[in-house]
Structure 1
Amino acid sequence: MVDNRLLVPLSETQTVRQTVGYAVQSGLEDADELEIHLVVALPYDAEVPEGEQQIAEAKRLLSKAERWGAEDAGTANITFETDVLGTDEYLFGPRDYADVFGSYADEHDVERIVLDPEYKPGVTSSILQPLERELDAVGLPYDEAPVERPARHERLVGTGTERFDRHFALFWISFGFYLVLGDPTYWFDLVTGVAVAGIVSFSLANVTFSFPLHRVESPLRTLRFAIYVPYLIWEIVRANIEISYVILRPSMPIEPVVTRVDARVRSGLPLLALANSITLTPGTLVVRANDQRLIVHTLIPPAREDLFDGSLERAVRFVFNGRAAARIPTPRERGDAEIVGGDEL
């Protein structure tokens, strides 16, 4: 009979190794026999390219964590169980993660969760504090591992190659934008453009890009974005025509409703691009974005149908992840879209 069972959610952080060690040490202080459940909760399901990649990375992390735990356990009586959670659903925020952990804990009689202070389940920043609040809400005991955290500036500065890539990319982005506003054939604009781009690159590169740039994938994304812009302009023009047609009709058949769409794009820049694209398209307005969950006000039925068909979602996925990532079911087919309120809201 196992005396103590612990659940340890894992993610690729600089403190995950210490967290596993703390779970082993603290668990053995309270019991002679210990069962540690090492889990990785995925923000993507297994049906899309991101999901398949995340599952492979999760299994590698679980394998490493199990070896770490065995090293720390020594001759102690410890059993390790590993699992990947969230493969059949989308986890959009701390509440979803807390619910998944709570269900797993109930199923396996887990008594306590050991949390990594830097826990980041597939997102760009830690969700520890809101996750702790949600764990309190579901009544699941937890313990934050007392680990030594790395200095924050190391992640922002990066290696010399990463710094060069950031400065180089931001310089040309700033220079190109400056020439769009000015005259690329006038020598004065060229000189001042170089000066302005240099200042912007020197002062803002490390905060503009909080992640390493890929020398192959980043240019490809830029090229795909150049393809996306005309498509977005066409969608805006088409939506303008539809809105104008409705407004000019005497009956003015508008149906303002509030909808929910769970978008299958990553948090951060991809989600920002999708939300802004939806808002730029007449007839739809993003009123709130909570992780990948978008609350969108739609004015007319065609705008709502286009939103539920996910054309902009697939286009944004194409920009950031390539052609294969765009081949996914629509939000309507996935059950990720619904009307949550009418014009009375």
Structure 2
Amino acid sequence: MITLLTGGRVEQVDGLVVPAGEPVLGWERKPHGWCRGEACIPAFRAAEAETPEGVDLVRFAGLLSRPVVLDREEGVLAIGEPAELAVDHAPGFALDLPQGGRFELSALRGSKVALVFWASWCGCRYDIPAWDALHRELSAAGGFTLVSVSLDRDPADAAPWIADVAHPALIDAEGVVAELYNIVNVPTVVWVDEEGRIARPQDTMTATDTFRSMNNLSAEAATAALRRWVLADEPGLTAEEARAHLRLPTEEERTARLHARVAAWLFRRGRTAAARRHLDAAAALAPHDVSIRRGLMPLDGVDPFGEAYFELRAELEAAGVPIYRPLPDWQAPSASS
């Protein structure tokens, strides 16, 4: 048996070959090829993954341009998401709400959305009440929803910080939404407009100045920009500017996130040595991805606010890698505007 990690789901599959006639990763065999909705893989291409016994999962994922990490020794296979990040198409996703029910980004089409990525292992957890107050204020005007997305690997770590909020508060424990939006650290905010387009790509934003001495970010500028976007319908960035500053993931980053997903799965089961092997692989592929390296510290029994984090900061600063990634100052509104 193989444990399959894909799309935030954990499934047990009987080996790496899916028996003939069964769906594969949501795709079904038709006479002319494999199809999902209106999209199809022609039969001649699909033949690369087909065997007399069925369909090879790893090869089929390759046909879909979805990265794969396979650990045969531990019996786990992780398959990543399609590379769909683009200004003209904010990737859709669905997650269970901690309070019950299910959230789907597509349900908010027709209104503006601010995706606020945070984690309990970041000081930005203290901004959640301020973000929630902004949601209450701006959603009252209509046509706006703020959605917070915790990157905590253990939902229990995020739960106390979102217990009494009014906005949809999600926990991306498997890192699927972070993968879709290429989030490498928190706090990061992405604006999605009424048509489902990315109006402002991954931007380091705060809702309070609690840690301004460390991050040199202006909460006043960030919240003023958000108010103008919602209330005055100011675009903030042109489509060309948004496209120029959208950080698309590299293949190394996509694979690193799968190693992190496998590491989290192994840590939760006490298989620490194997988990650290995948954590090391992720760090080697994407050393700048703080959401992976710091985000896995709690599962490894490491204090994410302690010496290990400051060593990580020093490593990145020495390499010239920014901890925070705000959009250029010329794009940010001044505090007086």
Q: Structure 1-normalised TM-score? A: 0.26
Q: As a proportion of its length, which structure holds more strand?
A: 2
User: Of the two, which has the highest radius of gyration?
Assistant: 1
Q: Structure 2-normalised TM-score? A: 0.26
Q: As a proportion of its length, which structure holds more helix?
A: 1
